[in-house]
Amino acid sequence: MNPIHASGGAVISEAGTHDKVARLVYIAAFAPDKGESVNTLIADPPPGAPVPPLLPPQDGFLFLDKEKFHASFAGDLSPQRAAFLADSQVPWGVGALGGSASEPAWRQHPSWYLVAAEDRMIPPPAQRAMAERAGATVVEVSGSHAICESRPAEVADLIKRAAV
């Protein structure tokens, strides 16, 4: 089993085809189809959807604006905890956004998907659409993109359910 959050969903959609992977768990994550990338999935947001506060790339890496981090990424965490997460964020490579999926693992393996209902990074309607397309068992939880931290019991419960 392979649980993953956010852009890591693109990774398991590709790498999850390995013969040792039996199940996939997406936690407020991208689940691209063949030929899609994170870039293509975020290219045309629905009207009124929140836009993640990405700063211009620096040396090929992306960061979220620290001033907007709490509201956009971790709205259900304390301001102090959100500030810590903003200060400790790990940069991610611009190139990671463009990698296209070949044959998504969710076509081969049972999948589960936790929709973060108050996510301001990946809009919940987009999460629901990707989960439905993947034929995933869906659980929707009230929470931000930081759902793994704000609602750990619900995240762990879904992973446990997928593991049996």
Return the domain boundaries, the chain.
2-163
Instruction: Give the predicted TM-score (pTM) of the model.
Output: 0.91
What average pLDDT does range 142-149 have in this prediction? 96
CATH number of 2-163: 3.40.50.1820
Rounded percentage of the chain residues whose pLDDT exceeds 70? 97
Higher pLDDT, 92 or 158: 158
Q: At what angle do helices 66-73 and 79-87 cross, to 10 degrees?
A: 120
φ, ψ (nearest 5 deg) of residue 64: -90, 145
Check if the beta carbon of residue 158 is closer than 8 Å to that of residue 97: no
pLDDT of 3 above 50: no
CB atoms closer than 10 angstroms to residue 134: 25
